[in-house]
Chains A and B, each alone.
Chain A
Amino acid sequence: MLEQQLINALSLGSVYALFALGFTLVFGVLGVINLSHGAIFMLGSYAALLLIEHFALPLWLAMLAAMLVSGLIGLAVDCLVLRPLRARNAPHLAPMIATIGVATILTSLAQGLFGAENKRFPVGTIPEESYNWGNLHVTAVQIGIVVISFILMLVLLAVMRRTQLGRALRAIAESPKAAYLLGINVEGLFYLTSFAAAALGGAAGVLVGLSFNAITPFMGQPMLHKGIAVIILGGMGDIRGAMIAGLFLGFAEVLTVAYISSDFRDAVGFGLLFLILLVKPSGMFGKVLERKA
């Protein structure tokens, strides 16, 4: 049934988009592929789970707190790993590999601390309501995911387009050196970007945790793969592109599973990525600045 598939695709796609948003933001501003984004996403999910389990926080508050926690982790990664590499003007390969190391550390720490098994949110955390229109079946969680993702995406887009801060960030994306000469606090905005990107990643983690009600230390890796596909499809560093490509990937995956075979679900994103790189390396929506990556 097509309509039902489209609704599922919308909720899946908006999570992909939200995840990829932070990923692409870091690339756009810092020029770094941060491969620890998946691990931070996973930790955001755990943060919400622990806060709800131990302090019985309401869901919305736990989600805000989880965004704060993952944001701080992102900030710590920036301070400890990315900043020294920036100071040294390291080539693009170095931060990419270093963040692989960070992802390994975070994933196995989580595995050591929380165990490798699936965790679930306590009963009653997740709203059970669902709505039926004719044959359509929509859960409150699905609606929540779509609404929250879109709010976060639109806020970020508004900040980038309408505020002085966004202008400064775009200036840095263009050229950090020129931005610095114009009196922009480049280093401070790098920190802010890392924080915001990780917070968005954490929010996506909470939403995914809610929608599947299963949290594991390993949930970050497959998400990271989707994220890579999305930011390439959308054009690296392009925020609007990441939103559209995230939704697009969600639809492509759900429709593949529904009409072709679930075997190829994970190949869809990368197949698309491979194709788009061959045909139009700047991404589907790109006139992307030619970065010397």
Chain B
Amino acid sequence: MDWWDGFWSTYNTVIFSLGVNAMLALSIYVTLSCGLLSLANAAFMGIGAYAASLISMQTGLPFPVALAVGGALPALVALIIGIPTLRLSGVYLAMATLGFGEVVRVVVLNMDITGGPLGLNGIPLKTEWWHIVLLLALTLYILARMRRSKIGRAFEAIKEDEVAARLMGVNVAGYKLLAFVIGAAIAGVAGGLNAHYTFTIGPGNYAFENAVEILTMAVFGGTGSLVGPTLGGMILTLLPEALRDFNSYRAVVNGLILVLVILYLPKGIWDPRRIRHWVKTFSQRKPQAGGSN
């Protein structure tokens, strides 16, 4: 298993990132499934990462506690800022959450305990592959259960038509807040996991670009189901590795893929209806071709 050791030591962070990015894409999926476009998830990831790392570095508490706080603190922040913010809709909400993210970045930049612009260094390596697999599986399980529950149906109703949902007696504000808080918790846990295998985090890791990246993963994969964001997160993690040969034009290809997916696959790459359609046309074409000859 020599090749495996070599492979693992070269690519383990990439492999870890597959799971963490899938979780991040799922975190924004939760808010999108409720019709909210929030760009605060990078900031929530950052809050989770800093909280978890500080616990690991400054206390002797075990890793699960650090991760739990990494999920709980962003959820609490989301609860506090969500109450006034979620009155906004559409583009306004996107901009407000963007503003919140930027404020978090500047606050982190200017605090002592966070290490300021230098960030935190020497975070102990505690994340193991099965932590990520377990938490990703747990996230998927909870979200899948939620989708089929009363909560999931309420989200769906709000996404389709907020006014109609309210008239049907759905507590729109409450469910929106719930989606926002759940998304923040998932992003925070993902941030905590991420910090414990990258050793170092800084305020620049959780800025606008990262918020956009998380959104891109979800939209690229498709937000109609849980498979979409998971796949999207994974593919967009691997893409930069695969495009290594393009060197400085790697980002061009990245951007191009984003534009082309939005233009030609508006529901993301995982769109069951389209896939079924493809399978159908493919399987129909085959016997026809055989028959005519």
* The one of B96, B209, B258 that contacts A98, using a Cβ cutoff of 8 Å: B258
Q: B84 touching A278 by the CB < 8 A rule?
A: yes
Is the interface on chain A under 10, 10 to 19, 20 to 34, or 35 or more residues?
35 or more
Q: A273 touching B96 by the CB < 8 A rule?
A: yes
A interface majority secondary structure: helix
What residues on A are CB-neighbors of B171 within 8 Å? none
1/0 contact string of A202-240 vs chain B (CB within 8 Å)? 000000000000000000010001001100100010000
Q: B95 touching A273 by the CB < 8 A rule?
A: yes
Measured between alpha carbons, how far is A59 from B98 in the docked complex, in Å? 37
1/0 contact string of B245-266 vs chain A (CB within 8 Å)? 0001111101111110011001
Measured between alpha carbons, how far is A263 from B111 in the docked complex, in Å? 11
User: Nearest residue in B to A98 (C-beta to C-beta)?
Assistant: B262
Known interface pairs A93-B37, A96-B94, A271-B99. Does A281 touch B255 (Cβ–Cβ under 8 Å)?
A: no
Q: Is B215's beta carbon under 8 Å from chain A? A: yes
* The one of B95, B107, B262 that contacts A94, using a Cβ cutoff of 8 Å: B262
Measured between alpha carbons, how far is A50 from B109 in the docked complex, in Å? 36
Of A33, A274, A278, which is in contact with the most chain B CB atoms at under 10 Å from its CB? A274
The count of A-to-B residue pairs whose CB atoms sit within 8 angstroms is 120
CB proximity to A under 8 Å, residues B207-264: 208-209, 212, 215-216, 219, 248-252, 254-259, 262-263
User: Nearest residue in B to A279 (C-beta to C-beta)?
Assistant: B84
Of B37, B110, B212, B262, which is in contact with the most chain A CB atoms at under 10 Å from its CB? B262
B interface majority secondary structure: helix
Q: A33 touching B262 by the CB < 8 A rule?
A: no
1/0 contact string of B189-217 vs chain A (CB within 8 Å)? 00000000000000000001100100110
What residues on A are CB-neighbors of B102 within 8 Å? 225, 266-267, 270
What residues on A are CB-neighbors of B248 within 8 Å? 108, 111-112
User: Nearest residue in A to B259 (C-beta to C-beta)?
Assistant: A101
1/0 contact string of A92-122 vs chain B (CB within 8 Å)? 1110111011111101110110000000000
Q: Is A180's beta carbon under 8 Å from chain B? A: no
User: Which one of B11-19, B50-58, B68-76, B85-93 is at the A interface?
Assistant: B85-93
B239 to chain A, nearest CB (A): 12
Q: Is B164's beta carbon under 8 Å from chain A? A: no
Q: Is B173's beta carbon under 8 Å from chain A? A: no
Q: Is A56's beta carbon under 8 Å from chain B? A: no
Q: B99 touching A101 by the CB < 8 A rule?
A: no
Measured between alpha carbons, how far is A200 from B258 in the docked complex, in Å? 26
What residues on B are CB-neighbors of A263 within 8 Å? 106, 109-110
Measured between alpha carbons, how far is A96 from B94 in the docked complex, in Å? 10
Q: Is A160's beta carbon under 8 Å from chain B? A: no
Measured between alpha carbons, how far is A111 from B247 in the docked complex, in Å? 11
Q: B266 touching A90 by the CB < 8 A rule?
A: yes
Q: B255 touching A101 by the CB < 8 A rule?
A: yes
Q: A104 touching B94 by the CB < 8 A rule?
A: no
Q: Is A143's beta carbon under 8 Å from chain B? A: no
B164 to chain A, nearest CB (A): 15
Task: Give 5 CB contacts A-B under 8 Å.
Answer: A94-B266, A101-B254, A104-B254, A274-B99, A281-B92
Known: A102-B255, A105-B251. 15 other contacts (CB 8 A): A85-B262, A98-B259, A98-B262, A101-B257, A104-B255, A107-B251, A109-B249, A225-B208, A229-B99, A263-B106, A267-B102, A270-B100, A274-B103, A277-B92, A293-B89
